[in-house]
A and B are shown apart, each in its own frame.
Chain A
C-alpha cells in the first residue's frame, strides 16, 4: 500500500479507513469485517483444497439447503443474545413444530398452506409461553429454555410416538424446492438471474441513496472511488453467485429455503436497524437500567424477542421437515448450539448489547462452509466437530483479546500497529487519529482531540 512510503498525517484519511468504508465502514461493521475476511479465506482455502468443488453450483445449492435453517435460527438468536439472554430450546421447538405439522397433514389431511400457518401458530404459542416466564416472572432465559428444550423434545416424541412421520410431496417444496424454470430458450435459470439482477440493482440504488442523504446532511462522505469499488465488488459477487445457482444441474436453481432466508435477513436487518423496536433491543441489551429510565418497557422487549425466536424456530423446523420429507424424533438435535456459535462467531458479545443480523449470518456461513469443506475433503464427523469447536473458541478469544488491546478486530489491531509503525518512522508528525480507526470497545472514556 502506498501509505507505507508516505508519512502519516492527520489530514490524510485515505488508505485503510477508506478501504474499510468499501464494506460499509460504520462502527459495528468494523467487527464484521474481520469475520467476513475469515469467511472469504475459508472459502478460498477449501476451493483450492477441493479443486474447485466448493464453489461449484451443486455444492453451493447443497450448502444453502443444508444450512438455511441454522441461519434462520441465528437471526432470532442474535436478537436474543443482544438482549443478554440465550435460547437453548430452538432445536426442540423446531422438532415439536415439525411433528405437529406432519401429523396435521398426515392424519387430519390438513392442506399444506394451512399446516404452515398452524406451524407458525405453534411457534407463537410456545414463544409466548417462554417469553412469559422470562419477561414477567423473571426466570432466567437459560433455565426457561433449558426446560423448554426438555419439554418440547419430549412433546415431539410423545406426539410422534418416537417414530418418523412422513409429510406429503407438495409440502416439501419449502425445504427442497427451487425457483421454477420459465419456458424461455436460455440455458440458465432465468428467475435466479433476475433475482441476482434485482439484488445488484438494489446495491447500486442503495449506495446512490446513501450518498445523496450524506450530501444533504453534510456528513462525512467516502470518496467516489470507494463507492464505485464497493458497488462493483458487491454487485459482482451477487451476480456471480446468481450465475452459479442458475447454471447448476438441470431442475435445480436457487432454493426456496434460500429465498425465505434472504427475505428474513432483509426484514430483520431492517427491524433491528431502523425500527423503534430494534433500537429498544440494543438499548435494553446495552444498558437495561438506562433504557428503563429512558422510558423503554424492557419486559415487553424481553417477551417479544423470546417469542420471535420460537416463531423462527418453528419455521426452521418446518423447512427441515420439508427437506427430509418426514418428521423424526431426533430432528433439530444440537441446532441451538450451532445457532449460538454462529452468533458469537459473528461478533456478538456474551454480555449483550452487541451483535448484528448480518454478522450472525456471516458467522453462520463460516460454520457452514467449514463443515461443508471438511466433508468434501472426506473428514469424519468427529474431526468436523473438533474443528468447529476450536474455531468458535478461537473466534471469541481473538475478539476478547482484541477488546483488551483496545482494538475492534484483528483488522483494527493490524491497522493500529501499522499506524504506530508509521508514526515511529515520522517522529515530527503529530499522532494521526482517524475517527474510524478508533475502537468502539473500550469502555474508558477519553478526550478526543479536535
Chain B
C-alpha cells in the first residue's frame, strides 16, 4: 500500500447563518481502507460528506480537498461523481417505478446519439448485480425490492460510475441483521478490489468490526483518528471520544417534586406503516410520575419519535399490542382528538412540517388545538382568543410586536414557544416534547428549559425526547434509552453519564428494569 492518501480534507470550515457547522475539520483517508466517521447527531458528519461530494459547492466553505493527489474544487455532485466519488444517502435515491437497469444507469445512460442501448445496459447491469451479490432480474421494478436489496442497487449504481471512493451514510440504519451482514461483507469485498469506503454509522459494533480507521467528530471539530488495526479500540473508547465534553451550566436550577406514577405504557408494539415486518416499537414499557421530567434517549432512527407519536392517538404506524394506563385506568387513544381529551400533548420535532400552520397568526395558532375551549356552539370567541394569546405572549415571553403577526415571521425559538403555548392551552397532564430545542439558539434554549421545568413544577408529567445527551442529563430526572425500537435502559439522571447512555443507545445488551 502506498503511503499517499487517496483523500485529504484540510481545515474545512463551513458556516451556516448563525452556526459554525464545521470548524477546521481534517480528514485523511488511505487508499483501499474502510474509514468510519463517528459522532453524535449534529456533530457535523453529514455536513462534511456534503462538502466532499459537492452538495455544498466549492466557495461555500473554506479549506482544501485533495483527492488522489490533486486539489479538487467540486461545483456540484456531478463533478464529484466524475472524479470517482459516490455518496449513498440514508434516504435512498432510487425511483420506485423504474427497473433496476434504468435506475443503475439513470443520468449515466448508455446511449449512442441519444438512443439508449438497452441490450448493452442490461448486460452491464447483470454484471454489476453479480458484483454486489444481488440475484434479481434487472427488469424488476425497484418498488418490488426490500430495503436491503435497494441498498445493493444503490451500490451497483455507484460502481457503474467507476467509483474510487464510496461514501455510505448510515447504510445499515434501515436494514435487518442479515441484510446488514451482507452489506458489510460487500463493503469488505470492494475494499479487496481497491475501492475505498467512508462509512458513517451509529452502530458502533459494526464500525468496530469493519473499520480500519475511525475519525471522531464532535461539535464540528475533528477530535481524533483511531487506528483500529493497531488495537485497543473498542466501543467504550469510541464513545469516550464522541461525548467527551464537560457539561456547562446551561440549565436552570430546579428542585424536582416528584409524585406517584400516573401514566404507564405497557408492552407497546407498533408496526412500520409501509413495511409491516419492521417493528418500530417492540414491547416497550415505561412510566411517568407526576412532576417528573423523563428523558428518552436514542440515536436517530431508534424509534423515539415513532413511539411517542403512536402513543399520541396512533398518529404513527399500525398498532399491534400494548396498553396505556393513566391515573390507574386503562385508556384507549384511537385518534388525536381523544389523546388531547385525555390530557396528552405532543410537541413535534418538526416544527414547520408538523407543529405549525406557517400561514397562520400567532393568536390563531395558540388556540388551534383546543378551539372548543373558547367557543360556544361552534363559534369562536375572538376577544377571548386575543386575551389568551396575549397571556401566553407575556408568560412565555414570545418576542413579537403583536399576536396578530404571522408565525412565519418569528425566529425558531419564538415559534417553538408558540407551539408550547398551543399545547399548554390544551391543559395537558402529560407533555411529550420531541426535540424541543432543535435548531434554536442557546438563549432561547434556556428559556425553553425554564418553561419545561415550570410545567413539571405544576405537577404535569413531561417526556423529553432529545438527541443531545447533555440536555437530557441537565433537565431530566430519569432517562430511558431506546435502541432499535426497544427500551434498553432506565436510569435516574443522577446516576447516568454520557458513556453509559451511549452504550445503551447503541446496543441491546442490557434490558430495561422498570
> In the bound complex, how far is the Cα of B372 from the Cα of A276, in angstroms?
8
Binary interface encoding of chain B residues 391-412 relative to chain A, with 1 for a CB under 8 A from any of its CBs, else 0: 0000000011110111011111
Q: A290 contacts B408, CB within 8 Å?
A: no
- Name the distance in Å between A235's Cβ and chain B's nearest Cβ: 23
- Complex interface: chain B residues within 8 A of A435 (CB): 401-402, 404-405
Chain A's closest residue to B312 (CB) is A293
- Complex interface: chain B residues within 8 A of A446 (CB): 409-411
- Name the distance in Å between A289's Cβ and chain B's nearest Cβ: 5
- Complex interface: chain A residues within 8 A of B406 (CB): 27, 440
Q: Which residue of B315, B361, B378 is within 8 Å of A275 (Cβ)?
A: B378
Residues of B345-387 at the interface with A, using a CB-CB cut-off of 8 Å, are 346, 348, 353-361, 364, 368-372, 375, 378-380, 382-383, 386-387
- Complex interface: chain A residues within 8 A of B411 (CB): 445-448
> In the bound complex, how far is the Cα of B409 from the Cα of A440, in angstroms?
8
| Cβ-based interface call for B437 (8 A) | no
| Cβ-based interface call for A442 (8 A) | yes
Q: Which residue of B315, B337, B380, B401 is within 8 Å of A297 (Cβ)?
A: B337
Q: A292-B315, A295-B340 are in contact. Are A286 and B383 (CB under 8 A)?
A: no
Q: B380 contacts A274, CB within 8 Å?
A: yes
- Name the distance in Å between A186's Cβ and chain B's nearest Cβ: 39
> In the bound complex, how far is the Cα of B400 from the Cα of A220, in angstroms?
13
Q: A279-B364, A287-B353, A450-B401 are in contact. Are A292 and B336 (CB under 8 A)?
A: yes
| Cβ-based interface call for A444 (8 A) | yes
Q: A445 contacts B415, CB within 8 Å?
A: yes
Q: Which residue of B346, B348, B369, B404 is within 8 Å of A27 (Cβ)?
A: B404
Q: A279 contacts B371, CB within 8 Å?
A: yes
- Name the distance in Å between A450's Cβ and chain B's nearest Cβ: 5
Q: B409 contacts A448, CB within 8 Å?
A: yes
> In the bound complex, how far is the Cα of B412 from the Cα of A217, in angstroms?
27
- Complex interface: chain A residues within 8 A of B378 (CB): 275-277
- Complex interface: chain B residues within 8 A of A220 (CB): 402
Q: Which residue of B358, B364, B400, B409 is within 8 Å of A287 (Cβ)?
A: B358
Q: B422 contacts A274, CB within 8 Å?
A: no
Chain A's closest residue to B372 (CB) is A276
| Cβ-based interface call for B390 (8 A) | yes
- Complex interface: chain B residues within 8 A of A292 (CB): 315, 336
Q: Which residue of B313, B337, B355, B387 is within 8 Å of A290 (Cβ)?
A: B355
Q: A353 contacts B359, CB within 8 Å?
A: yes
Number of interface residues of B (CB under 8 A): 49
Chain B's closest residue to A291 (CB) is B357
Binary interface encoding of chain A residues 221-242 relative to chain B, with 1 for a CB under 8 A from any of its CBs, else 0: 0000000000000000000000
> In the bound complex, how far is the Cα of B374 from the Cα of A276, in angstroms?
10
Q: B354 contacts A286, CB within 8 Å?
A: no
> In the bound complex, how far is the Cα of B357 from the Cα of A291, in angstroms?
8
| Cβ-based interface call for A169 (8 A) | no
- Name the distance in Å between B506's Cβ and chain A's nearest Cβ: 30
> In the bound complex, how far is the Cα of B375 from the Cα of A362, in angstroms?
30
- Name the distance in Å between B402's Cβ and chain A's nearest Cβ: 6
> In the bound complex, how far is the Cα of B361 from the Cα of A282, in angstroms?
11
Q: B380 contacts A283, CB within 8 Å?
A: no
| Cβ-based interface call for A380 (8 A) | no
| Cβ-based interface call for A219 (8 A) | yes
- Name the distance in Å between A353's Cβ and chain B's nearest Cβ: 5
Q: B383 contacts A217, CB within 8 Å?
A: yes
> In the bound complex, how far is the Cα of B351 from the Cα of A289, in angstroms?
11
Q: Which residue of B315, B346, B380 is within 8 Å of A279 (Cβ)?
A: B380
- Complex interface: chain A residues within 8 A of B409 (CB): 438, 445-446, 448
Q: B410 contacts A217, CB within 8 Å?
A: no
- Name the distance in Å between A232's Cβ and chain B's nearest Cβ: 25
- Name the distance in Å between A224's Cβ and chain B's nearest Cβ: 20
Q: B369 contacts A294, CB within 8 Å?
A: yes
Residues of A341-355 at the interface with B, using a CB-CB cut-off of 8 Å, are 353-354
| Cβ-based interface call for A3 (8 A) | no
Q: B399 contacts A450, CB within 8 Å?
A: yes
Q: Which residue of A213, A274, A295 is within 8 Å of B369 (Cβ)?
A: A295
Name, among A276, A438, A446, the residue most crowded by chain B CB atoms within 10 Å (CB to CB): A276
- Complex interface: chain A residues within 8 A of B412 (CB): 445
Q: A443 contacts B358, CB within 8 Å?
A: yes
| Cβ-based interface call for A26 (8 A) | yes
Q: A274 contacts B382, CB within 8 Å?
A: yes
- Complex interface: chain B residues within 8 A of A12 (CB): none
Q: B402 contacts A440, CB within 8 Å?
A: no
Q: A448 contacts B408, CB within 8 Å?
A: no
> In the bound complex, how far is the Cα of B270 from the Cα of A391, in angstroms?
53
Q: A294 contacts B359, CB within 8 Å?
A: no
Pick 13 A–B contacts, CB within 8 A, sort by A: A275-B379, A286-B357, A287-B358, A289-B354, A290-B354, A293-B312, A293-B348, A293-B355, A294-B369, A295-B336, A295-B337, A295-B339, A353-B357
Query: Which chain A residues have a beta carbon within 8 Å of chain B's beta carbons?
Result: 26-27, 213, 216-220, 274-277, 279, 282-283, 286-287, 289-295, 297, 353-354, 435, 438, 440, 442-448, 450
Query: Which chain B residues have a beta carbon within 8 Å of chain A's beta carbons?
Result: 312-313, 315, 335-337, 339-340, 346, 348, 353-361, 364, 368-372, 375, 378-380, 382-383, 386-387, 390, 399-402, 404-406, 408-412, 414-415, 422
The 4 closest A-B pairs by CB, nearest first: A286-B357, A294-B369, A286-B359, A295-B337
Given contacts A276-B378, A438-B405, A444-B408, 10 further A-B pairs with CB under 8 A are: A26-B404, A27-B404, A287-B354, A295-B336, A438-B409, A442-B408, A445-B412, A447-B399, A448-B405, A450-B401
